């Protein structure tokens, strides 16, 4: 590889390192070309690109991209799985773990996730997680479950209150009044005797007085 080719490889690798959110590192020493091609095909299905580049060029690209977490993983022949934006990191980790188990040659070293270095054991734990669609369902379920519990707590007292009100109304509707209503109080002061009895003597007295005056 001449100088121009090396510069081109370093430039491309630098751009990949700058834009990649997650990448996983493995030592491919001992793998045959058919095995590497098979692994590359499996990773493509899950949104990852496998790159095999000499460590000298990878170090230059990592330094240019500011990917310091990657430098510690560059020991021996290195294969880098660049996970694209729409890729499935869990599925990629599982594919690498399966290849390591099947070939007994591939060795996972670790990776870089959101700028932070992760160990080989972290990648293996990542490979044990459920698929991405299942994880999304679990996250949605975890978010919805507290909301349902909150709604149950809010609605339960209201339902109990409505039930008590309905029961009380039904009870009151089935009872008949046991006492007669009290008579209405008079609007004005009450006289000692009948009102007609008081008025008639007053008329008669006025007539008697008029007759006496005439006589």
pLDDT tens-digit readout, 167-206: 656 666 654 444 455 555 555 554 444 444 444 444 444 4
Residue-wise pLDDT for 36-48, tens only, equals: 999 999 999 999 9
Return the CATH number at 101.
Answer: 3.30.70.1730
Average confidence score pLDDT of the chain: 75
Contact 47, 88 (CB under 8 A): yes
Give me the domain span that covers residue 150. Answer: 130-171
Q: How would you list the strands of the sheet with 116-119, edge to edge? A: 48-52, 78-83, 22-27, 107-113, 116-119
Separation of first and last alpha carbons in the chain: 161
Band of residue 21 on the pLDDT scale cut at 50, 70, 90: confident
Instruction: Please check whether residue 188 lies inside any domain of the structure.
Output: no
CB-CB neighbours of 148 under 10 Å: 10
CB-CB neighbours of 59 under 10 Å: 17
Q: Are residues 167 and 103 in the same domain?
A: no
Q: Are residues 56 and 159 in the same domain?
A: no
Instruction: Please check whether residue 164 lies inside any domain of the structure.
Output: yes
Q: Would you say how long the chain is, in residues?
A: 215
Q: What is the pTM of this model?
A: 0.60
Q: Are residues 19 and 124 in the same domain?
A: yes
pLDDT score of 145: 60
Q: Are residues 117 and 145 in the same domain?
A: no
Band of residue 146 on the pLDDT scale cut at 50, 70, 90: low
Of 8, 15, 26, 11, which Cα lies nearest the Cα of 112? 26
Q: Are residues 114 and 146 in the same domain?
A: no
Instruction: Please check whether residue 67 lies inside any domain of the structure.
Output: yes
pLDDT score of 4: 80
Considering its fold, how many domains does the chain have in total?
2
């Amino acid at each position: 590889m001449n100088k121009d080719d090396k510069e081109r490889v370093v430039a491309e690798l630098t751009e990949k390192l700058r834009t990649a959110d997650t990448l996983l590192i493995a030592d491919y020493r001992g793998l045959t070309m058919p095995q590497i091609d098979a692994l590359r095909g499996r990773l493509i299905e899950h949104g990852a690109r496998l790159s095999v580049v000499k460590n000298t060029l990878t170090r230059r690209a990592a330094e240019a991209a500011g990917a310091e977490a990657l430098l510690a993983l560059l020991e021996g022949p290195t294969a880098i799985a660049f996970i694209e934006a729409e890729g499935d990191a869990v599925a990629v980790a599982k594919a690498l773990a399966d290849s390591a188990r099947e070939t007994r040659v591939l060795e996972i070293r670790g990776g870089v996730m959101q700028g932070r270095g992760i160990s080989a054991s972290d990648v293996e734990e990542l490979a044990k997680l459920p698929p991405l669609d299942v994880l999304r369902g679990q996250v949605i379920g975890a978010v919805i479950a507290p909301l349902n519990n909150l709604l149950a707590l809010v609605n339960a007292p209201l339902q109990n209150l409505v039930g008590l009100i309905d029961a009380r109304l039904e009870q009151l509707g089935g009872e008949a009044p046991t006492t007669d209503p009290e008579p209405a109080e008079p609007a004005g002061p009450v006289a000692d005797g009948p009102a007609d009895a008081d008025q008639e003597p007053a008329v008669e007295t006025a007539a008697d007085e008029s007759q006496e005056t005439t006589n």
